[in-house]
A and B are shown apart, each in its own frame.
Chain A
């Protein structure tokens, strides 16, 4: 059973290594994700944000613009997850303790 587990781990490692070696190199301008249009001929999703991010918000950091403006609803969900985690810890850790 133990050898099977190690074998599975090694096989998974091999899959990961094959997948990583087949990725395009970093900063390769000819890779599909860095093209203006994708192979199907339509604009890539990021094209709009790259072209409009600074004009829309005057914010140089494009990541901030996408996180807090274009995808703000997603960030609101993240904040509520953090808050729900705090509330859950409050209720779980205070079981049996009395607070005045």
Chain B
């Protein structure tokens, strides 16, 4: 898209180019937001039904990879740039480990959400939201790692 992204890609290969078929182009652009929505649903509904961070993260990655495959690497940069993927992956693991460290700092064991510093919540709901925060980290790591592996395979 922009010049910085062109500099980032070492060389354009056939896999990075957008497809020539308008049907695939339009269909993937229509399906991808739906997959994103289903991924968010699976992630946020992990407290009540099968699902959670890993499954939701894979679905979010599938939506982004569909755009990468159909629109080409450079046109699909705005939804998730190539340079940010591994950084976000590290951020997800840091969110998980950081919540454990926060509960150590406030007097509990490692990853004991009972001690998170949110004073107006019941202990049971503290653990509810602790699980949710941890799943956010899992989702970010899984989603961005899959996209990063695809980008590394193409060399972009």
Contacts and interface: CB of A to CB of B under 8 A. Distances in A.
Interface of A: 55-61, 63-65, 67-69, 72-73, 75-76, 78-80, 82-83, 85-87, 89-90, 93-94, 97-100
B71 interface: no
Contacts of B49: 61
A90 to B, nearest CB: 5
B48 A82 contact: no
Interface residues of B, number: 42
Interface stretch (B16-24, B28-36, B88-96): B88-96
Interface in B115-150: 122, 124-125, 127-128, 130-131, 134-135, 137-138, 141-142, 144-145, 148-149
Given A61-B46, A63-B50, 16 more contacts: A56-B124, A57-B128, A59-B47, A59-B128, A60-B47, A61-B49, A68-B52, A72-B100, A72-B111, A79-B96, A80-B93, A83-B89, A85-B149, A86-B149, A87-B86, A97-B155
Contacts of B138: 75, 79
A73 B149 CA distance: 25
B60 to A, nearest CB: 14
A79 B89 CA distance: 9
A83 B96 CA distance: 12
